[in-house]
């Protein structure tokens, strides 16, 4: 049965690029599947994340063009089969490039996304759709039931033409062949057909949406407006599959009489100029170690624990109080204290607090980094050394500041040195690393839910009565740290006995001055202009400088000063060290005098 075919004049059709089209049924998107779809000549990878968000992406990895639909959907990210690049749910931003754990470029690699809306059991998308997907009153008011979709090797308008003559039976009388058909046009890619039984007067309505896959291919997506009773569903599905099967044969026969249309050409966007050039290796900050995330777990509310095992040589030893730089897949570098006890170099353990206003560091570790990933880290550095010759050691931790304290406490305990670890937290669920604390027994005292005033009073009580060879170590949020330092000074603790580590430097750094630095050992004079740090100037001249936080908190970039007056802008040095004027944090501090002579 071939019908004479007249193609509508394509000029009269609205631009299909601006319309919403169905690209999949919800049944095509089972848990953690990736559906390979196509619309208007463009291939798309369609996948549903565990948060139910439906992603419609260009079906192509930006790296080497491999179809993402042959990759894996792990519920939050899509991984390319070829090189393991991972792309995030929703944003389609690339989050991990396994070939370069150390110098992952700090640049945004983002796949192309298309709009996606679920309606009537179908996923709707489009190249550049305007407004909303079409609404159909009979589906809005009914209980839509998706029929099996049918691919057709025919242009969508030939399929529509065939559908106008399509026949099926109402659900109540599938076995007869005498129903009255009425058609209602919805738009250029959709129509509604109602079948009314002559005897029973019962009717069924099916809405047909035709997806233009390419110039010569379509998919018929049909939705019955009223879901049949469950026992009848199989028979209904069979009835429509058989009827539409005949329609497909007729449409393909009609299409075969037409000249083959030119295939649609989907344009693939060029990558940005910045992405098209090979990135330079990041040599400034050293990250010689490669570790794999062996375990990631929630150790307290908003705090993730990470166990890192070496991928190559055994991990180097470390001292209590030490931290590592973690180079993140998004190009950021963050410092985390080791919580390990002495001698435990089989793995490094760190705790990462999810910062409410994270600039991408803690968020990346919480959301993106997962078990099995490879990270580049620095060797452990200790800018917070623990004295092990004291009669009494007071460890004061606020929140995530507990991490270096846990390492210190585990070092002191087997030595039999008297210590107490005071752990301040907002609530019980914020207390982290219970398994380590359990091993420290009564030496750990938690202080939960105190107001700032109550915290101050508690600190005053703890620091009352300085004695010979007493040491206090403090790590926590800035205000608590300031309060503890003030209280310790008031309680006659000498500056040398008060040790602290800031999370970050909140000082506003003034880099407007310009001055000269003389490098005494290498007999070189360099100019530090406004807007550049001493550290940057040294590196610009090929001097390898260690650094870590680069904000004046960690103390890694310290350099001895022989002459000149220093403008200290760090939070690492103690007041007595500042007063001595013989060292400088080169990442933030500058000169008051015209010239500094550095002992390097």
Partner 1 sequence: MRTALTTTVATTCTDPIILNQWHPLLPLDEMATDHPGTAVLLGERLSYQLDANGAPAVWLTADVDATPLPVLVEYLYVWTCLGSPPDELFAIPEFSEPDRRNVHGGTIGVHVSAPRAIENFLDMGHFPYVHTDVLGVEPHTEVAEYDVHIDPETNDVWATDCIFYQPRASTTSTEGQMSDYLYRVPHPYCVILYKTTPLFEDRMDVIALFCRPVDDDQIQAHMFLSLLDPDNSDTVIRKFQQGIFGQDKPILENQYPKLLPLDPRAETPIRADKIAIAYRRWLSDLGVTYGVIPVSPTSVSMTS
Measured from the CB of residue 374, what is the shortest distance to partner 1 in angstroms? 5
Report, in Å, the least distance between residue 70 CB and partner 1.
5
Q: How far is the CB of 288 from partner 1 (least distance, A)?
A: 12
Rounded Cα distance, 146 and 130, in Å = 25
40 vs 396, which CB is nearer to partner 1? 40
Minimum CB distance to partner 1 smaller for 84 or for 360:
84
Query: What angle separates helix 156-164 from helix 230-256, to the nearest 10 degrees?
Result: 120
Q: How far is the CB of 258 from partner 1 (least distance, A)?
A: 10
Q: Which is nearer to partner 1, 356 or 544 (CB)?
A: 544
Looking at the Cβ atoms of 63 and 539, the one nearer to partner 1 is 63
We find the least distance from the C-beta atom of residue 253 to partner 1, in angstroms, to be 12
In degrees rounded to 5, what are phi and psi of residue 289?
-95, 145
Which residue reads 């779809």 in tokens?
37
Burial letters 524-548, b for 16+ CB under 10 A, else e: eebebeeeebbbbbbbeeeeebebb
DSSP result, 248-266: HHHHHHHHHTSPPPPPP-P
Binding site for partner 1 (CB under 8 A): 43, 59-60, 62-67, 70, 81-84, 97-103, 105, 109, 153, 216-217, 256, 260, 268, 270-273, 275-279, 281, 290, 292, 311, 372-374
Q: How far is the CB of 97 from partner 1 (least distance, A)?
A: 6
Name the residue nearer to partner 1 (CB basis): 23 or 538. Answer: 23
Q: Which residues contact 548 (CB under 8 A, 6 or more apart)?
A: 285, 323, 325, 333, 335, 378, 381, 554, 556, 557
Q: How far is the CB of 38 from partner 1 (least distance, A)?
A: 12
Q: Which residues of 407-430 are buried (b: 16+ CB within 10 A; e: fewer)?
A: bbbbbbbeeebebbbbbbbeeeeb
- Shortest CB 390 distance to partner 1, Å: 41
Which CB, 288 or 479, lies closer to partner 1?
Answer: 288
* Chain center to CA of 284: 25
Question: Min. distance of Cβ 109 from partner 1 in angstroms?
Answer: 6
> Are the C-beta atoms of 557 and 587 separated by less than 8 Å?
yes
**289 or 584: CB nearest partner 1:** 289
Whole-number Å distance between alpha carbons of 334 and 170? 65
Q: How far is the CB of 269 from partner 1 (least distance, A)?
A: 9
- DSSP code of residue 148: P
Q: Specify the residue, 67 or 167, whose C-beta has the smaller distance to partner 1.
A: 67
The residue written with tokens 């008297």 in the block is: 418
Q: Which is nearer to partner 1, 234 or 268 (CB)?
A: 268
Residue 255 CB, shortest distance to partner 1, in Å, is 8
Cβ proximity to partner 1: between 32 and 107 the closer is 107
Q: Which of 42, 36, 41, 39 is nearest to 73 (CA)?
A: 36
SS3 label, residue 236: helix
DSSP 227: P
Q: Which two tokens stand for residue 436?
A: 């380590």
Q: Which is nearer to partner 1, 138 or 153 (CB)?
A: 153
Question: How far, in Å, are 20, 42, 88, 406 from residue 91 at the CA level?
Answer: 21, 20, 6, 38
Please say whether the beta carbons of 183 and 206 come within 8 A: no
Longest dimension (CA), the chain: 107
Cβ neighbours for 478, distance < 8 A, ≥ 6 positions apart = 502, 503, 504, 506, 571
């Amino acid at each position: 049965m071939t019908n004479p075919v007249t193609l509508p004049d394509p000029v009269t059709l609205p631009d299909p690029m601006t319309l919403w089209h169905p690209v999949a049924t919800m049944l095509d998107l089972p848990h953690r599947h990736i559906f390979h779809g196509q619309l208007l000549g463009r291939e798309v990878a369609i996948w549903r994340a565990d948060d139910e968000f439906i992603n419609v992406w260009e079906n192509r990895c930006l790296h080497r063009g491999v179809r993402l639909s042959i990759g894996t959907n792990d519920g939050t990210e899509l991984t390319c089969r070829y090189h393991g690049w991972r792309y995030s749910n929703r944003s389609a931003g690339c989050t991990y490039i396994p070939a370069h754990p150390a110098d992952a470029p700090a640049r945004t690699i983002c796949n192309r996304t298309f709009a996606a809306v679920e309606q009537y059991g179908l996923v709707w998308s489009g190249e550049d759709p305007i407004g909303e997907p079409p609404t159909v009153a009979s589906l809005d008011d009914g209980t839509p039931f998706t029929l099996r979709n049918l691919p057709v090797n025919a242009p969508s308008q030939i399929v529509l033409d065939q559908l106008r003559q399509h026949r099926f039976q109402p659900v109540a009388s599938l076995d007869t062949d005498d129903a009255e058909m009425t058609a209602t046009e919805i738009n250029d890619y959709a129509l509604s057909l109602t079948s009314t039984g002559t005897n029973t007067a019962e009717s069924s309505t099916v809405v047909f949406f035709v997806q233009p896959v390419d110039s010569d291919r379509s998919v018929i997506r049909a939705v019955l407006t009223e879901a049949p009773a469950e026992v009848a569903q199989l028979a209904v599905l069979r009835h429509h599959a058989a009827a539409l099967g005949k329609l497909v044969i007729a449409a393909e026969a009609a299409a075969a009489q037409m000249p083959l249309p030119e295939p649609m050409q989907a344009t693939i966007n060029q990558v940005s100029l910045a992405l098209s050039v090979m990135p330079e290796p990041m040599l400034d900050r050293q990250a010689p170690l490669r570790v794999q995330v062996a375990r990631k777990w929630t150790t307290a509310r908003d705090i993730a624990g990470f166990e890192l095992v070496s991928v190559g040589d055994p991990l180097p030893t470390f001292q209590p109080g030490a931290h590592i730089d973690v180079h993140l897949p998004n190009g950021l570098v963050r410092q985390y204290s080791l919580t390990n006890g002495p001698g435990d170099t089989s793995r490094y353990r760190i705790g990462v607090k999810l910062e409410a206003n994270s600039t991408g560091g803690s968020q990346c570790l919480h959301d993106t980094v997962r078990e099995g990933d490879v990270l580049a880290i620095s060797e452990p550095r200790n800018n917070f050394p623990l004295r092990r010759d004291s009669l009494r050691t007071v460890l004061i931790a606020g929140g995530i500041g507990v991490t270096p304290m846990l390492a210190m406490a585990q070092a002191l305990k087997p030595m039999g040195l008297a210590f107490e670890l005071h752990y301040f937290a907002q609530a019980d669920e914020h207390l982290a690393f219970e398994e380590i604390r359990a091993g420290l027994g009564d030496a750990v005292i938690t202080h939960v839910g105190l107001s700032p005033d109550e915290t101050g009073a508690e600190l005053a009580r703890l620091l009352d009565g300085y004695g010979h060879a007493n040491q206090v170590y403090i790590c926590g949020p800035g205000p608590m740290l300031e309060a503890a330092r003030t209280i310790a000074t008031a309680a006659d603790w000498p500056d040398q006995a008060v040790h602290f580590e800031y999370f970050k430097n909140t000082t506003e750094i003034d880099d407007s001055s310009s001055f000269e630095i003389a490098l005494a050992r290498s007999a070189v004079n360099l100019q530090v202009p406004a807007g550049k740090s001493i550290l940057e100037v040294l590196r610009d001249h090929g001097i390898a400088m260690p650094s870590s936080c680069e904000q004046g908190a960690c103390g890694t970039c310290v350099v001895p000063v022989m002459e000149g007056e220093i403008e200290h802008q760090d939070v690492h040095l103690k007041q007595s060290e500042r007063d001595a004027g013989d060292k400088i944090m080169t990442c933030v501090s500058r000169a008051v005098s015209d010239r500094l002579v550095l002992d390097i």
